[in-house]
Amino acid sequence: MIRRLQVNDPRLSRVRAAIRMQPRARATAFVLIAGLLTAFALLFAPPATVTYDVGKVADRAIRAPRSVSFVSPSLTGAERDKAVAAVPKQFATDPAIVVGASSRLNSAIGAIARVRSDAVQTRDQKLSSLARLTEAQISPALAVDIVDMPPLEWDQLAGGLDSALRTLYGQGIRAEQLDAVKTDAVKALPGGWTPRQKNVGAELIRQNLSANVNVDQQATILAQQDARTGVVPVQVQVTAGEVVVREGDVVTALQVEKLRALGLSNQGVDWRSALGLILWAGLVAGVLALFMERYATEAWRDDPKMILVILSLFVTTLASRALLPAHPVLVYYAPFAAVAMLLTVLVGGRTALATQIAAALHIGIISPRDHRSRVRDGRRRGDRGEYRGGPRVPARRPHPRPRGSRRGRRGRRSQRNRVGASRVRGDGDSRSCVPHSDRLRAA
Position 262 scores a pLDDT of 82
pLDDT tens string 178-202: 999 998 888 889 988 999 999 999 9
Cis peptide bond upstream of 140, omega within 30:
no
Position 416 scores a pLDDT of 53
What residues in the chain have per-residue pLDDT under 50? 1-2, 5, 370-399, 405, 419, 421-443
Position 426 scores a pLDDT of 43
pTM (whole model) above 0.85: no
Residue by residue, what is the 3-state secondary structure of the chain? CHHHHHHHCHHHHHHHHHHHHCHHHHHHHHHHHHHHHHHHHHHCCCCCCCCCCCCCECCCCEECCCCEEEECHHHHHHHHHHHHHCCCCCEEECHHHHHHHHHHHHHHHHHHHHHHCCCCCCHHHHHHHHHCCCCCCCCHHHHHHHHHCCHHHHHHHHHHHHHHHHHHHHCCCCHHHHHHHHHCHHHHCCCCCCHHHHHHHHHHHHCCCCCCEEECHHHHHHHHHHHHHCCCCCEEEECCCCEEECCCCECCHHHHHHHHHCCCCCCCCCHHHHHHHHHHHHHHHHHHHHHHHHHCHHHHCCHHHHHHHHHHHHHHHHHHHHHCCCCCCHHHHCCHHHHHHHHHHHCCHHHHHHHHHHHHHHHHHHCCHHHHHHHHHHHHHHHHCCCCCCCCCCCCCCCCCCCCCHHHHHHHHHHHHHHHHCCECCCCCCCCECCHHHHHHHC
pLDDT tens string 210-237: 999 988 899 999 999 999 999 999 999 9
Position 353 scores a pLDDT of 94
Position 332 scores a pLDDT of 80
